Amino acid sequence: MLSGTHLDFDEESKALYDAVAPMHSEAEFDAVLSQLDRRLPGTGTLQQRYEAFRSAFVIPRDRLDAVFKAAIDACRQRTLEHIDLPDGERFTVEYVTGKSWSGYNWYQGNYRSLIQVNTDLPIFADRAIDLACHEGYPGHHVYNVLLEKTLVRDRGWPEFQVYPLFSPQSLIAEGTANFGIDVAFPPADRVKFEREVIFPAAGLDPSGAERYYEVMALVDRLSYAGNEAARRYIDGEIDAKAASAWLERYGLYAPARAAQRVKFVDQYRSYVINYNLGKDRVAQFIDARAGGDAAKRWTAFTELLSSPRLPSDLTVSASR
């Protein structure tokens, strides 16, 4: 690739991330959209109704930092109940603009991270816990802290001071960061916390929390629409404008968010599979070991964070 060879989307993801995302048809997404259509009655297109519904759950800019601090504190507290982290670990948060991503963890070494949150577009209530867990606890920050502690310092493997972003390690990193949200906040527990802490901190009506997350659970089933848009775009079947339109139609992206996502694909290409396929692979791996036992889930999750793995190892191990 560095010398100019072009790989198609699936070839590239296999070469870089040791995984190929399954293909999904328009019919599969249409079935979910039909459910959402019934869940969000009214006038206008489904996308318009969804945006109107979601607009009531935007975190006001002047409350953003307080909301994120509340989310981070809760994520950290829940993580520390199950994972021993070294003294001195911490991270700082910055709010930035002009990025193709919504959040980013820049690991600094010595158990410290810089987490940046992009404020170009509205930030919705669910993103506080999502970003606090994904970028912080028990996500990227904890993952990098444990790798430094267990592999670099304890085992003396200096090569793990380098994290190649375009590598199989990223499917594990993004997969654990996304699945870690559910580990720290199982769905029913999360809705309760959102209703009691996050919504009041954001100045939002907590009575709408349960319905909001019911709708968002359906929208989450459209996540692979982003992979399909990226696959077709990278493979030259559609252009950037058509990729944005696909995301709006099948992923319910607002136009500005769809355009931002296409910029992300321009920059990171097949990396997009690491979020949803990575989460699914990690979930299968953890559930095969822990089932519904919450304590065992945390144990298996911590072991995965602390060890060098390949995505194909997750599939083989989960099937045993």
Query: Does a structural domain hold residue 1?
Result: no
230 in any annotated domain: yes
Which pLDDT belongs to residue 124? Answer: 96
Q: What is the pLDDT of residue 65?
A: 95
- How confident is the model over 49-63, as pLDDT tens digits? 999 999 999 999 999
Q: Is residue 237 part of a domain?
A: yes
| Rounded to 5°, angle at Cα 225 from 52 and 134 | 80
Domain carrying residue 152 = 9-319
Quick check: 33 and 47 in contact, CB under 8 A? Answer: no
Tens of pLDDT, residue by residue over 10-26, are 999 999 999 999 999 99
Q: Is residue 81 part of a domain?
A: yes
Tell me the per-residue pLDDT of 211-253, one tens digit each, with 9 for 90 and over: 999 999 999 999 999 999 999 999 999 999 999 999 999 999 9
Confidence of residue 5 (pLDDT cuts 50, 70, 90): very high
Predicted pLDDT of residue 292? 82
145 within some domain: yes
Neighbours of 106 (CB within 10 A): 14
3-class DSSP assignment, residue 308: coil
Which pLDDT score is estimated for 316? 61
Closest CA to 171 of 12, 9, 16: 16
Range 64-74 average pLDDT = 96
Angle (nearest 5°) at CA 124 between 122 and 128: 115
Q: Would you state the pLDDT for residue 291?
A: 85
Q: How many independent structural domains does the chain possess?
A: 1
Residue 317, pLDDT score: 60
Q: Is the dihedral of CA 136, 148, 17, 116 positive or negative?
A: positive
Instruction: With respect to residue 4, please indicate whether it lies within any of the assigned structural domains.
Output: no
Q: Is residue 3 part of a domain?
A: no
Please count the residues of the chain.
320
Confidence band of 1 (pLDDT split at 50, 70, 90):
confident
Measure CA 116 to chain center.
15
**CB contact at 8 A, 117 and 102:** yes
pLDDT band at 320 (very low <50, low <70, confident <90, very high): low
Question: Which token pair is 236?
Answer: 């030259």
Which tens digits make up the pLDDT trace of 186-220?
999 999 999 999 999 999 999 999 999 999 999 99
Distance CA 91, CA 52 (A): 35
Give pLDDT tens digits for 115-171: 999 999 999 999 999 999 999 999 999 999 999 999 999 999 999 999 899 999 999
Collapsing DSSP to helix, strand or coil, 190 comes out as helix
The token duo for 31 is: 């079935």
CA max distance for the chain: 62
Residue 128 belongs to a domain: yes
Q: Is the pLDDT of residue 83 over 60?
A: yes
With contact defined as beta carbons under 8 Å apart, do 130 and 101 qualify? no
- Residue type, position 205, single letter: D
| Nearest residue to 104 (alpha-carbon basis) of 148, 165, 158, 16 | 165
On average, the pLDDT of the chain sits at 95
